[in-house]
Amino acid sequence: MPASRSVVIGVDSSTQSTKAAAVDADTGELLALGRAPHSVGGAAGARESDPGEWWTALAAAVREAVREADVPAASVTGIAVAGQQHGLVTLGADGRPSRPALLWNDTRSAPQAAALAARLGGPASWLERTGSVPVASMTAAKWQWLREHEPERAEAVRAVRLPHDHLTELLSGAAVTDPGDASGTCWYGTATGAYDPDVLDLIGLDPALLPAVAPSGATRVGTLTPAAAEALGLPRTVAVAAGTGDNMAAAVGLGLGGAGLLDHPVVSLGTSGTVFAATRARPADPGLAGFAATDGTYLPLGCTLNCTLAVDRFATLLGLDREDAAPGGGVVVLPYLDGERTPDLPHAAGLVTGLRHGTDPRAVLGAAYEGAAYTVLRALDGLLAACGLDPAAPAVRDRPLRLIGGGARGRTWTETVRRLSGRPVVVPAADELVALGAAALAAGAVTGADPVALATAWGTGTGALLPPVPRDEESWDRIAAVLAAATPALLR
């Protein structure tokens, strides 16, 4: 490869691993992908990770990507990080993490979230201020949990970061975030584009502890520090973008953002299930996270806690391969193994009903798929309604879903979503949309180009259209009835 060709690195630092995509900045060609794992610990609702593992994994993944791409280090011109949202990283006086990070799926902060939601005028006021009502996932609730359960540690904190902020700071030395990831904290005002002083006062968080908010994730915040350049094996001249949250980066990779289109709602099947769409409006719905997109538009999002990981757990319990599933028939599974966020049932456990002596274990696994897919698609209906669209209207139902995430590569996941939604589906041909979106942000930091336009030109969001199949109304209604009947018990 000619040394003059520009290569950018997009980093996807997710819950369980880090991926680094080496991408040709001109064509969007994925030259290589480096990977490195990191661990999650905790029980009884706790989910924590050592931020040091994220940095070690990032460096290893970047080095692998550059090596496998067979490009000179001097050809790398930019890097951006897309990170798991909501995590609370606390730094001490030495600039190092003072404890393991509290992750997005740590549900111990549910009581704090409920108490916060009742303050400042209640849920309607929170929606007006931040676009979201506090739930256990939001960073504000986690900070409040830390203040109540580990007050001495909270008092000693000298900086508060989100996971992607922390990694960007290690890369560049700049304490900076972006509007997209900041909007998942519940202390950033999506209406004002700034931290909300009343929320910060309520949770006792000094704004001096927070990073500055860059105009967008593609903002150039500096170049690699000497230590980062050495760790990654790259020149110090590499531009570092502000970066963003993983969902916002996926939207960039799909070419969603500045155009403000809702023509292709997105369903992401990963450890969590998410549904989102780009819009210029600020939907106010307590069942949604009213996120900002990284470019200053909006990215309303619904999120479920239990998706591919929960279904894989059922496969393990049943001794089956994840693809060895059959339609659930009379079996209903609500796979809420980590509690649930949408619907808001933080203390729920999994539920299985409809078993008979002759029940095929494959049907139980199929019912787990159906329960998880139903929960995600139910959140999609809420998203569309909040954006002023009737989910049942033919014109809306005929719009294809863009299906992304690890589950989108699984036959059973894809067919279950098609059957329960009755909608056409596009599965983008490109893998690693979060990393590719981050790469577009990196390219934007280098050239000043619009990263959404870059990703659109790269074609990373395109794929084959799968036609609709008849909607399985019977399974949908059966799951809905079980959830309605079980909710009072799941709330306890």
Cα 373 to chain centroid distance, Å, stands at 17
Structural element, H or E, at residue 143: helix 139-149
Only one residue has tokens 């990770």, namely 49
Only one residue has tokens 């989100």, namely 162
- Specify the amino acid at residue 128: E
- Specify the amino acid at residue 93: A
Q: Is 85 annotated as ligand-binding?
A: yes
Burial of 323 (0-12, 13-18, 19+ CB in 10 A): exposed
- The dihedral through the CA atoms of 66, 71, 74, 77 has a sign that is negative
By annotation, the residues acting in catalysis are: 246
* Other Cβ atoms within 10 Å of 293 Cβ, number: 30
Spatial separation of the C-alpha atoms in residues 127 and 118, rounded to whole Å: 12
- Specify the amino acid at residue 474: E
| Inter-residue contact 64 to 20 (CB < 8 Å) | yes
| Inter-residue contact 153 to 159 (CB < 8 Å) | no
Spatial separation of the C-alpha atoms in residues 339 and 53, rounded to whole Å: 26
Q: Is 144 annotated as ligand-binding?
A: no
- Specify the amino acid at residue 116: L
Using alpha carbons, select from 242, 237, 252 the residue that is nearest to residue 76: 237
Residues of each annotated binding site: 85-86
Residues of each annotated binding site for substrate: 85-86
